[in-house]
Every structure is written in structure tokens, then in C-alpha cells.
């Protein structure tokens, strides 16, 4: 499963799965399930100003995006996590959430090519 992708990097998935295609597909399926939930939760928690819970979701989303090599996005989510848990720098939350949605949607499209090959 070595494809050239614009955004995702499957090196980590290949490493933790020892190249097991089925395990990679299972992890990709998990990403497909989790990401829309995280996107929805982030928007909802932002609207309700539930900063601490927003930080918790950012932490979970960070782990998911790291799995597919979105390291820069993971750093942004870490920033959101740390700030939201303390209710600081609220002005950056919306921008990071928008970036998460945009990049994770793009990652889902790229990952779809893996699912379609099997």
C-alpha cells in the first residue's frame, strides 16, 4: 500500500501494522468512523463554549490524525487541546477547528483510494 498522497503519510500505519494490509484497512475504517464524530463534536462544543470538553476532543482527534501522518495538524490540535482545557486564547479555537475539518476531509478523500483498492 505505497501510494503518493498530497496530505497523508502512511509510514506510521505501515510501521505499526508491520505492513499487514488488513490491519491498515481496519485502522483506516476507524479513522472514517471517528473523524466525522470529532468534527461534529468540536463544532457543537465550540458553540456551547464547553472549552474543557473541546480540549478533550482535540486530544482524541490529535491521536487520530497522527496515525495517518498529519503531524502539522496534530500540533495545531495539541495547541487547541492545551488552550481549551484552560479556557485560554479562545480567539484561535475556531480557526484550528476549521483547519481540522478542512484537512481531515481531504485526508478522508485520500484514504478512500485505499479502501477502493480492496
Is 18 within the bounds of a domain?
yes
Is 2 within the bounds of a domain?
no
Q: How many domains, in total, are found in the chain? A: 1
Kindly tell me if the per-residue pLDDT of 6 is higher than 70. Answer: yes
Is 61 within the bounds of a domain?
yes
Kindly tell me if the per-residue pLDDT of 2 is higher than 60. Answer: no
Query: Model confidence over 82-105: pLDDT tens digits?
Result: 999 999 999 999 999 999 999 999
pLDDT of residue 21: 86
C-alpha cell at 9: 503519510
Is 33 within the bounds of a domain?
yes
Kindly tell me if the per-residue pLDDT of 1 is higher than 60. Answer: no
Is 59 within the bounds of a domain?
yes
Q: Which domain holds residue 110?
A: 11-117
- Between 4 and 23, residue with greater pLDDT: 23
Q: What is the CATH number of the domain that holds 85?
A: 1.20.120
Is 5 within the bounds of a domain?
no
110 to 7, 50, 79, 94: CA distances (angstroms): 8, 32, 25, 24
Query: Model confidence over 22-71: pLDDT tens digits?
Result: 998 899 999 999 999 999 999 999 999 999 999 999 999 999 999 999 99
Is 3 within the bounds of a domain?
no
Amino acid at each position: 500500500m505505497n501510494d503518493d498522497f498530497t496530505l497523508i503519510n502512511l509510514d506510521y500505519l505501515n510501521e505499526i501494522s508491520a505492513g499487514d494490509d488488513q490491519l491498515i484497512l481496519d485502522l483506516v475504517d476507524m479513522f472514517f468512523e471517528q473523524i466525522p464524530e470529532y468534527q461534529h463534536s468540536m463544532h457543537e462544543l465550540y458553540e456551547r463554549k464547553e472549552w474543557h470538553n473541546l480540549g478533550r476532543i482535540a486530544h482524541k482527534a490529535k491521536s487520530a490524525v497522527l496515525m495517518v501522518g498529519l503531524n502539522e495538524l496534530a500540533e495545531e490540535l495539541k495547541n487547541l487541546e492545551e488552550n481549551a482545557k484552560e479556557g485560554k486564547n479562545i480567539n484561535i479555537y475556531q480557526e484550528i477547528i476549521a483547519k481540522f475539518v478542512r484537512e481531515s476531509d481531504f485526508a478522508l478523500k485520500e484514504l478512500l483510494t485505499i479502501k477502493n483498492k480492496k
